[in-house]
Structure 1
Amino acid sequence: MTQSWKGEFITLILVSYLIVSIHSAPLSAYLVSSFTPPDPDPNLPFNHIAFNNITGDIYIGARERLYQLDSDLNLKETVDTGECSHPNKDHVNDNKLLISLVTPQNYRLIACGGCDGDCQTSSLDNITLDQKSVSTTNKVVSTGDRPTVGAIVLGADNENTGEGKIDGDYFLFNGISGGAPRDTYFISKRRLIDHVSLQEVPGIAVVLPSEKNNLVFQHLISYKDYLYYFISRGEITYLGRLCRNTLDDNFESYTEIELQCTRGGSQNIIQSAYIGPAGSQLAESMNVNTTDDLLYAVFSSTSSSSLCVYKMIDVQQSFDDAILKCINGTGNKNSFLVGSMCNTHECIE
């Protein structure tokens, strides 16, 4: 019997660097522009943000509101999404997931949340125009204060013979933070059909036992062939990796490693992350090229925060090591994902 490598909990021990500012000043000294909602209750929380890389517009998902700003943070449009009929801590109109889809055929803002976790699309030019409700089976976002992460990717034809032919369909991958028995899907994906339906693809949900359902998704990055999920489970941060193409119907490529950030103590809660090239000074200090990609991750504890930097080549090697250990029978058997197998799975674009 093969062991699971989905959820291989090895420690990612990499060289990390704490970036310390040489010059400090009050934050107000760096303020370029700001935005204050023109609403009767300006304290309604902001939940998510998306960008239009062509126009520079910024979209904010808030409680009961969607905002569209220009690149100088001037308000352009507001959509009032209203109160829930019977609001409580798990039943509020929070627009939690915003994704801008910018292609020659698609120029849409996808917003998910609302009282029932539904989604809607609208024009990126003006979010008050061409609004369409998007139907879906099962919920797309988590309820209450638990976050949701998501990304839209261009899919490969699932009915293809394995050549990875692009068929033009887009898929929404998401990660729903756990905490309630009804939150059964760990990660799922849905096909976007004509802006009016998010069709769940059968057989691809990874199911969590309810007693293990205490994870929090903090961030999601699409990088090359993979999606990288940043997850807090208890006091530990994990980095999960999944093939971004849609031929991975059963999520066979999913695996995890533990991500650590330590300097004078442990910062164990991931806050945000970014993958990009090194600057000249950082590249020299880490003995890498300026074109080499690095993972920048912000961690925090109750008393401090740190920015740790990892070489992506080392991150990828840690995933390869985790898979090999599982195949060789020396890795930990996964106990929190159901039905996982120790399979190798090549990402096909």
Structure 2
Amino acid sequence: VIMSPAIWKWTCLVSHLLLSATVSPLGRQQPLHPKRPFVSFTGEQAEGNFNHLVVDERTGHIYLGAVNRIYKLSSDLKVLVTHQTGPDEDNPKCYPPRIVQTCNEPLMPTNNINKMLLIDYKENRLIACGSLYQGICKLLRLDDLFKLGEPFHKKEHYLSGVNESGSVFGVIVSYSNMDDKLFIATAVDGKPEYFPTISSRKLTKNSEADGMFAYVFHDEFVASMIKIPSDTFTIIPDFDIYYIYGFSSGNFVYFLTLQPEMISPPGSTTKEQVYTSKLVRLCKEDTAFNSYVEVPIGCEKNGVEYRLLQAAYLSKAGAILARSLGVGPEDDILFTVFSKGQKRKMKSLDESALCIFVLKKINDRIKDRLQSCYRGEGTLDLAWLKVKDIPCSSALLTIDDNFCGLDMNAPLGVSSMVRGLPIYTEDRDRMTSVIAYVYKNHSLAFVGTKSGKLKK
């Protein structure tokens, strides 16, 4: 999630706000209260924005990814440890990076922008990936941020050279009797020959193991990854997939994305570029990515379309919301923030909506699509990956809730959009972040806004 510095300040304060501050309930203006002394943390001025924040659920310690630094903070925002990650001499055109072989491009002092920050609870380490050297990652010990490993000598160690902080998302899938997996999704910035847009990697116990970040499966024909075909860039020159959020649930891993596509407006024969928000689903155990399915998502209220995904968060329904939605209290609910329209990715309009999706209903839509495709109905409908329409092939088999695909009819797209339920709209101060949890059977959502306000 990309947030302004003001939003990040609120994010850092959120635990204190919940304990001691009165925040504005959604849809109702509160009288102003006297200023209260909040604990705060300010990094080095030269660093610019903070990029990512994760909290250790066991200790309450906060890990903050910034430009050229990783911080470990106490729960009351005191600095415990600082780990420097940059700047260093680099050039984004150096591939492989200069730390592997000599680069003929001119080198210059380059900031290291933190692009991904994940806690690996099983091995008590922090995975911190930056923008230097085509996107290599460090594995840092949680206690003192000591560097346990920094694999960089193989091409699978370079996640992406994109220097935007909101361009990479990772999801760890843990196992009790084997090494964990790391699903990585990233923008590729026009370099599909270097970087897969989505892949599953080995997360070895030994931080210095040769197989760290290797693809879960890789042979001459099949690998645990998907690359954007070069033909796609002839149709949409600036095509990329931007990953806003990711999570695992049940047998699947999910990513929420924003991606450009060409459509013909009603009554027009010419095509124009718009952005579509999509949910991507993969089976955790699918090493060939035959289970890849994506479905468009969006929201509408009073005739206004909200289609540009800004943020998302997975929570449970809770007893009260569950009753109104006709689901169980432990069912997964996606809280999402969309801005108005489809045409302005980088300059989103201020009108925004908070919408909820029942994950089971999205999965039901995917199952219906899989069943119809295996009856031979329609095409694979995935324009960016299959430049030509490929018809679905008929096959006699049972497709249940946990179907993980075959080497036919895959990857697959769902054409009809799944619409979320709008629960709040904001016309002036665009919502940019969201978090939710269940408290005393109530499902509570907190949203951050462009101006730095926190709303409950």
- TM-score between both structures, scaled by the size of structure 2: 0.62
> What displacement does 1:318 show?
1.0
Provide the rounded CA distance (Å) in 1 between the counterparts of 2:277 and 2:36: 31
Q: Find the partner of 1:148 among 149, 168, 177.
A: 168
Partner of 2:118: 99
2:207 counterpart letter in structure 1 = H
Partner of 2:244: 218
> What displacement does 1:255 show?
0.2
> What displacement does 1:287 show?
3.4
Aligned residues: 312
Query: Alignment partner of 2:306: what SS?
Result: coil
State how 1:67-106 maps to structure 2 within 5 Å.
67-86=71-90, 92-103=111-122, 106=123
Partner of 1:238: 278
Provide the rounded CA distance (Å) in 2 between the counterparts of 1:28 and 1:315: 44
> What displacement does 1:88 show?
7.1
Contact 2:92 2:161 (C-alpha < 8 Å) held by counterparts = no
Partner of 1:282: 321
Deviation track 1:115-151 (CA, whole Å, cap 9, x = no partner) reads: 1111111111121x24422335232144122610011
Seen in structure 2, the aligned counterparts of structure 1 residues 23 and 284 have a Cα distance that, compared at 3 Å, is farther
Deviation track 1:233-287 (CA, whole Å, cap 9, x = no partner) reads: 1221000001123xx1110111011111112312222122222222444334323
Query: Alignment partner of 1:325: what SS?
Result: helix
Q: Report 1 or 2 for greater relative contact order, CA contacts < 8 Å, sequence distance ≥ 6.
A: 1
> What displacement does 1:64 show?
0.7
State how 1:111-150 maps to structure 2 within 5 Å.
111-116=128-133, 117-127=135-145, 129-135=146-152, 136-138=154-156, 139-145=158-164, 147-150=167-170
Contact 2:160 2:188 (C-alpha < 8 Å) held by counterparts = no
Could you list the runs of 5+ residues in structure 2 that have no partner in the other structure? 1-24, 95-109, 261-274, 341-348, 406-456
Provide the rounded CA distance (Å) in 1 between the counterparts of 2:248 and 2:365: 18
Q: Find the partner of 2:214 among 199, 205, 220.
A: 199
Provide the rounded CA distance (Å) in 2 between the counterparts of 1:27 and 1:241: 45
Q: Find the partner of 1:53 among 57, 60, 74.
A: 57
Q: Find the partner of 2:39 among 33, 44, 54.
A: 33
Deviation track 1:144-177 (CA, whole Å, cap 9, x = no partner) reads: 226100112125xxxxxxxxxx642112110011
Partner of 1:176: 186
Partner of 1:324: 371
Could you list the runs of 5+ residues in structure 1 that have no partner in the other structure? 1-19, 156-165
Seen in structure 2, the aligned counterparts of structure 1 residues 56 and 347 have a Cα distance that, compared at 3 Å, is farther
Partner of 2:338: 299
Seen in structure 2, the aligned counterparts of structure 1 residues 167 and 27 have a Cα distance that, compared at 3 Å, is farther
Seen in structure 2, the aligned counterparts of structure 1 residues 192 and 263 have a Cα distance that, compared at 3 Å, is same
Query: Alignment partner of 1:331: what SS?
Result: coil
- TM-score between both structures, scaled by the size of structure 1: 0.79
Partner of 1:110: 127
Seen in structure 2, the aligned counterparts of structure 1 residues 292 and 188 have a Cα distance that, compared at 3 Å, is closer
1:45 counterpart letter in structure 2 = N
Partner of 1:12: none
**1:337 matched to 2:375:** no
> What displacement does 1:204 show?
1.7
> What displacement does 1:31 show?
8.2
